[in-house]
A and B are shown apart, each in its own frame.
Chain A
Amino acid sequence: MGSVSAADVRGRVRALLDGWEPGVTEPGEFLRARFDAGLAWVHFPVGLGGLDAPRSLQAVVSAELDAAGAPDNDPRRIGIGLGMAAPTILAYGTDEQKARFLRPLWTGEEVWCQLFSEPGAGSDLAGLRTRAVRDGDEWVVDGQKVWTSSAHTARWAILIARTDPDVPKHRGITYFVCDMTDPGVDVRPLRQITGEAEFNEVFLTGVRIPDAHRLGAVGDGWRVAQATLMNERVAIGGGASVPRESGMIGPVAATWRDRPELRTPELHDRLLRLWVDSEVARLTAERVRQQMAAGTPGPEGSGLKLSLARLNQQLSGLEVELLGEQGLRYGDWTMVRPQSVDFYGRDAGYRYLRAKGNSIEGGTSEVLRNIVAERVLGLPAEPRNDKDAAWKDLPR
């Protein structure tokens, strides 16, 4: 435990490649074998796809497997499972739950989605009203969830629901794993301002969840959910340095270079300002990355999302304006259901509209500013009247 070396990892990768030759082995079989060899996520425990090794050794595994042309688990398709469900199951799940869920989650055989937000519970997630009522060894769930990506392809969901309305809102919530094939689950596409439907609304009517699919204690769901949301935000900042003009500055700069007839002095100054802002955001992310690599993480990472949301919106807005007459046209308003967000495969108008979500999803910029002000700068919270009263007594 904890003494796994890069050489050990390389040896295991070689053994995996010898036993299950990529290109010959069916990809699913290869991924299951990789999981069983402890090479899925090396920092996970032995027996659950890992080796109890430092997270940094994952890069060794990736490099070796990429070089061998091994199949991967298409992480973009299963991001919610990998980034949110898995760490929560690892932290709060029973041995049975870990053994049942983690392997097919990682291989991608079972897609996961997240049933957290509700029409009446966005920034104030703890105010959620989806109810779960105990019925013997089961819970019966009724309510409505929203902004659920992958709900139409998901086998499982992580779900938070109110199990006790008589206590303050943060204390009456319980965390469950919900079977998306239950007949009481109704998934409907939620068309958004881009014309497409990345997300869904999920209506839950008499959905039955075995108590064995509860994650954590009854009433402890808010704390469990914090682990999930923390992992959502940790995802930024771990990777490699990013080259200059990555992100939304790229297409705008390319248009400026390719289309001299569009240039005006006023747009030039705005473009240079945003070029500088993009470069500084890149340097700031690099500084956060260096802090993490040095083992001295600071609070700076909590600002990255705020910067990127603002930049994406300003850059895509400038891009549409720069395009002039072409900016009056839009690729396609047809309602489609994409598997993942692709900012760069579509036109400037799409980027402009989709980037509006960047300051709302995963914590609004307003809530993030509160978090910075209170947790980083140490300023006091606004006085509140909803923390100690029973949830059922709150005005609504």
Chain B
Amino acid sequence: MSTALPSPAIPDLLYSDVEDDLRAAVRAVLADRCGPADVLGRIETAEPYDPALWRVLALELGLAGLLVPEKLGGQGASAREAAVVLEELGGAVAPVPFLGSAVLATTALLGCDTADPATAALLGRLAAGEAVAALAVPLPSAPGDGFPAAVRADAGGRLTGTVTSVPDALTAEVLVVPALGPQGPGLYEVAAAEAAVERPVSFDLTRPLADLRLDGAAGRLLAGGDAAAAALERALLTGAGLLASEQLGLAQWCLDETVRYLGQRRQFGRVVGSFQALKHRLADLWLDVVSARAAARNAAGVLAALPSDPAEAVLAVAVAQSYVSPVAVRAAEEAVQLHGGIGMTWEHPLHLYLKRAKADEIALGSPGRHRRALAGPVRLPAAG
């Protein structure tokens, strides 16, 4: 006696002219300042992030405030535009804190009381590129995980606890910290200088992690109770949905670069891209990337329409993450294999993509985590 699942109208899955222009602008900056040699050079330095690149992206292109409403000093754009930016940043494995600051921390702050002058001022500083913020949660955190208990707040807003594997915190001046206080969940603004920041060796060289230790750090309450939990959940949902676009951009780069290489590499007196065994693998990968694009665009479109259909947003994000994550990993793995020996070297940029793809698979919920999250909404309950 089951009724059909809800099947709301599918959003526009194409790119608007404005989005195409935005892509072209981001791509031009990255081509100029973030080529493979630039990124490979930077990972050898003590400063894994590229502050000069971030300044250009944040200030000249306004990417830091893309999701911030115009009245708060931002661009007032939607998740659709942020997704296009992430496609380009993923395609360049750009070492900039867009996901951590302009998506995760910013979305969390936008879920707080933006009429509060201090919160509005903070968003204004982020949008103007004057500060970088990080959402103090471990990168594997997924929407639906529930409010974290790693940090405790006392009645005076003093925060104590340890948060490991925080993305984009190494370069942040401001931390947005979820903490459990006497009144329950709260989101707090904490100056990064208040935290002891440790730098573990990260698998992903272009998005290094930080471990944060807070020991009575001074925090300002941004939101409390259900509002704090909702703001965090919205940030993680948005982050997970938009991460699919980063993964898409990464997968597309791996495919394009492998097709290009196999189109010129010769062995056995032939261009190796003419061997059917390799062509079929690339055709399959192309199909996966084409499909991933539809899934990622759908997630971005549904997120952009929030708060109109929250249930559909949960579903679209879970579909995008469970589908696109493995595609990105497979694209990077196929790229390494099909490049042969050169793909195993430190000097070729492919390893940066493989490491990012594998880290992104764990980030903001693994594919299996997102599949399990679908069981309820699509009414396919587990056994037993």
Residues of A within 8 A of B (CB): 241, 243-245, 253-254, 256-258, 260, 263-265, 267-269, 271-273, 275-277, 279-281, 283-284, 286-287, 290-291, 294, 296, 300, 303, 306-307, 366, 368-370, 372-374, 376-383
Contact = CB atoms under 8 A, between A and B. Distances in A.
B293 A241 contact: no
Nearest to B14: A290
Contacts of B372: 272
A275 B374 contact: yes
Contact of B291 (A244, A284, A294, A370): A284
17 contacts: A241-B9, A243-B7, A244-B4, A244-B6, A263-B384, A264-B383, A272-B322, A272-B371, A272-B375, A283-B13, A283-B297, A303-B291, A306-B283, A368-B283, A372-B286, A380-B274, A381-B274
Nearest to B285: A377
Contacts of B381: 260, 263
A263 B383 contact: yes
Contact of B10 (A241, A268, A378): A241
**Chain B interface, >50% SS class:** helix
Contacts of A376: 283, 286
Given A257-B2, A379-B263, A269 B274 contact: no
B383 A268 contact: yes
Given A275-B374, A369-B280, A378-B259, A283 B10 contact: yes
A190 to B, nearest CB: 29
Contact of B379 (A257, A284, A286, A372): A257
Given A244-B7, A263-B382, A373-B282, A281 B375 contact: no
Report which residue of B12, B276, B372, B374 has the largest number of chain A beta carbons within 10 angstroms of its beta carbon. Answer: B276
B371 A380 contact: no
Contacts of B280: 366, 369-370, 373
A377 B283 CA distance: 8
Contacts of B279: 369-370, 373-374, 377, 379
A269 B371 CA distance: 8
Q: How large is the interface on B (under 10, 10 to 19, 20 to 34, 35 or more residues)?
A: 35 or more
Nearest to B271: A380
Contacts, number: 144
Interface string B287-312: 10011111101100000000000000
A275 B378 CA distance: 9
Contact of B14 (A275, A287, A374, A378): A287
Contacts of B378: 253, 275
Nearest to A243: B7
Q: Give 8 nearest A-B pairs by CB, closest first.
A: A373-B279, A263-B383, A369-B283, A283-B294, A244-B7, A372-B283, A380-B274, A284-B294
Contacts of B298: 283
B294 A287 contact: yes
A370 B372 CA distance: 36
B98 interface: no
A303 B371 contact: no
Contacts of B380: 253, 256-257, 268, 271-272, 275
Nearest to A300: B290
Contacts of B7: 243-245
Given A378-B263, A379-B274, 16 more contacts: A243-B4, A244-B7, A245-B5, A253-B380, A254-B2, A256-B380, A267-B383, A272-B374, A279-B319, A287-B13, A294-B14, A303-B290, A370-B280, A373-B279, A376-B283, A380-B263
B275 interface: yes
Contacts of A381: 274
Nearest to B276: A382
B2 A290 contact: no
Contacts of A267: 383
A366 B322 CA distance: 27
Contacts of A269: 368, 371
A370 B319 CA distance: 29
